[in-house]
Amino acid sequence: MPEKRISIFGLGYVGSVSAACFARMGIRVIGVDIDDNKVSSMNRGHSPVLEDGLDLLMAEQHQAGRLHATTNVAEAVNESSISLICVGTPSAPNGSLDMTYVSRVCEQIGVILKEKLNQPDGYHVVVIRSTVLPGTVEQSLTPILEKASGKRSGADFGVVQNPEFLREGSAIDDFFNPPKTVIGASDERAATLVASLYEGIEAPTFITTIGVASVVKYADNAFHAVKVTFGNEIGRFCKHFGVDSHEVMRIFCEDRKLNISPAYLTPGFAFGGSCLPKDVRALLYGARTADLELPLVSSLLPSNELQVRELIDRLMPYRLEGIGFLGLSFKPGTDDMRESPMVKVVEALLGRGADVRIHDPYLRLSELVGSNLRYLMTEIPHIGNLLKESAKDVIRSSKAIVVSHRTDAFQEAVKGVREDQILFDLVRLDDTDAIKAEYHGLYW
């Protein structure tokens, strides 16, 4: 089996750690940087950046002959089959990314590929490790590579988005024990080659699109920021009331079924029910009485309301032609209507003169009692006139159909929608390609 050879552009934090760790895996690595000091440091077996254990690892790999550095782009590209771009994408004053460095490197690599790709064994993969927004690789960096090389991505060369998940201070351990490996590729050949670099690393590997790979990194970091802020806001709340915040969060984190889990993290419609809205409001009230600001928690209800308003706006063009709802309670399997976001949507549409009909197999007015009944009759006083016996009845008489519950019955019912209808899917139905109606996923 031929020796794996890669080049790594940018010998900052990510590039230096990646270079030393790939070399330790037996891969021959060429580091590339315009900074002579970084290049000479690596060529002496010293790390250009400070990271626990990296200096020793780099010295070992340099001595083993698997790691060296250069300022010569042509040398690096011609002596490798995969180039990983790890240069910085710093923030501009307006929050946008400064793409100067990564664009320049792509152009430089493309120029060298112009000749290399004419050789029988010249196929090359360009891997973007730098963090860039979705669309950047496809709409900006790939065209730069194609223009400079005169070749086509996905045919003559490959392009891959391969985000890193390294934390400063534990980067080497993170490299060899990552939470996941994500490879977004232009084509299968490129994906296979990049995946081979991680052979021997025990982690779930996801081969996906370039767009998904780029957003995964942003989702991770945004969620990390949410967690830090959430922990601090709960801590501020606890301190005022004399509660041990670390004990609260220790118990909180022991819940791997709902709290530290995929639960509630699939894109879908707004939250509702008898618990979440009420408890968020109570938490905020308690904070206000203590003169505490909880900006993150304070944003939850307005963000939730925004989702409700967006759906209403998308349905308004069909208000006179008939809008049908499959599901009204805040989730399937219950008749609890309290603060159901669908009740709010229906209420708003009725207030604007919409023609509405509803089917919810769990909603039986004769069986509703107490606060649940009072809430529904207050929000939609004439609900009885809107209810239909079956999903087919709703579909038959509606121009637009909204599916808010994911059930087998509704999965089957939507097979009967017509080509002249519009389907709004809030739950990510299966087999949507078979749906005849004009299809609109909520966030997909």
Q: Which positions are catalytic?
A: 275
Q: Which residue has the tokens 């939850």?
A: 300
Name the amino acid, one letter, at 7: S
d(CA 96, CA 161): 19
Give Cβ neighbours of residue 368 (< 8 Å, ≥ 6 apart). 335, 337, 376
Residue 117 structure tokens: 């790709």
Contacts of 47 (CB under 8 A, 6+ apart): 16, 20, 41, 54, 55, 58
Contacts of 247 (CB under 8 A, 6+ apart): none
- Measured between alpha carbons, how far is 228 from 222 in angstroms, rounded to an integer? 10
**∠ Cα 163 164 170 (to 5°):** 170
The answer to whether 430 touches 411, Cβ cutoff 8 Å, is yes
* Token code pair at residue 346: 């229906």
Of 340, 391, 400, 6, which is closest to residue 198 (Cα–Cα)?
A: 6
